[in-house]
Amino acid sequence: MYDSFWMENASLFTNAAKHQSTLAKIKDEISRSDEDFIVFFKSKYSNLLPPSFITLEVTSFGTLSHLYENLQAGLAKRQIAQAYGLADKVFASWLHSFVYIRNVCAHHSRFWNRWLQIQPLFPRNTLHTWLTDRLVSNNRTYYALSMMLYLLNTVNPKHTFKQKLESLFAKYPNVDRAAMGFPANWQAEPLWQ
């Protein structure tokens, strides 16, 4: 695909100004990082940026989303999305939505029954089990949790996300799941079984 310093190659991105802005954010994130592997890299090498496999470890979710969004359409972008069993436009919309969700949570805002302002796309086809109910709203907490579950199932099938969510529901039985966008039959969804 690309070499380890592909992020610095402006020809791989659609908008040069956005690329420069994203690189500036990445450089700032690297300079602020106190991770041992970043400190070691800075002490040993003179490169402004470490290789991508190191850099991406400390890149914020927002910066990662901007990087992917600005990447030229083509094989590399498709391969990244296909690694998660999604089309590239769907994957980009999910990343953007996750950035929004992360920001809501990081600023201690209410998330449990929020209407999502950044609405992710509904995938037509997925490599892995996804929601069968095509009428479910894509701007509610249930949909966001379903996206998280889908990606966790893809990268770490032995996760405990569902069990932790069930524990939260057991601990707070009065929480209105319908207000979160959960359909009445959500537990029958293959994704949630």
Residues 55 and 150 in one domain: no
Return contacts of 74-80, CB within 8 angstroms, 24+ apart. 75/1, 76/1, 76/2, 76/12, 79/1
Cα 35 to the center of its chain, rounded Å: 22
Q: What gap in Å lies between CA 165 and CA 4, rounded to an integer?
A: 38
Q: What gap in Å lies between CA 193 and CA 191, rounded to an integer?
A: 6
Classify residue 56 as left (phi > 0), alpha (psi -120 to 50) or beta: alpha
Residue 164 identity? K
Domain carrying residue 185 = 85-192
Domain boundary among 72, 99, 127: 72
Domain boundary among 43, 72, 101: 72
Domain boundary among 15, 50, 72: 72
Residue 47 identity? N
How confident is the model over 25-58, as pLDDT tens digits? Answer: 999 999 999 999 999 999 999 878 999 999 999 9
Confidence of residue 1 (pLDDT cuts 50, 70, 90): low
Contact 100, 144 (CB under 8 A): no
How confident is the model over 75-118, as pLDDT tens digits? Answer: 889 999 999 999 999 999 999 999 999 999 999 999 999 999 99
- Domain-embedded: residue 10: yes
Residues 113 and 184 in one domain: yes
